[in-house]
Amino acid sequence: MSPRPKKLRKCEGNFCGRAFKPTGTPLSKLDKIELFRDEMEALRLCDREGLTQEEAGIKMGVSRGTIQRIITIARRKTAEAISEGRALIFVDEDEGQ
């Protein structure tokens, strides 16, 4: 049985291919954490724009539960990068897999 096809998620912004990293250390010498486009969009909508998970789900075209799962993963990755001095690399989902 093949997995259920992934639902298209609506994302704004074109930040893919960019990175957020600690200063003073070349990107090539840092451990990297990939932050996918939908994870960045969920962070933007919930944490920057202040939308509820329900509202963010409507904007992205997915359920509230999906937003909750995405935002939990995104926050964990962001916290890990900041606390351990790693680089966050912003990628499209297709590029990272």
Q: For 21-41, what is the mean pLDDT?
A: 93
Is the predicted pLDDT of residue 11 greater than 60, yes or no? no
What is the overall mean pLDDT for the chain?
86
pLDDT digits (tens, 9 = 90+) for 74-86: 999 999 999 999 9
pLDDT at 97: 43
Residues forming beta bridges with residue 32, ordered by sequence position: 87
User: Please, what are the domains in the chain?
Assistant: 29-96 (1.10.10)
pLDDT at 49: 96
Lowest mean per-residue pLDDT among 4-8, 15-19, 37-41: 4-8
pLDDT > 70 in the chain, percent: 77
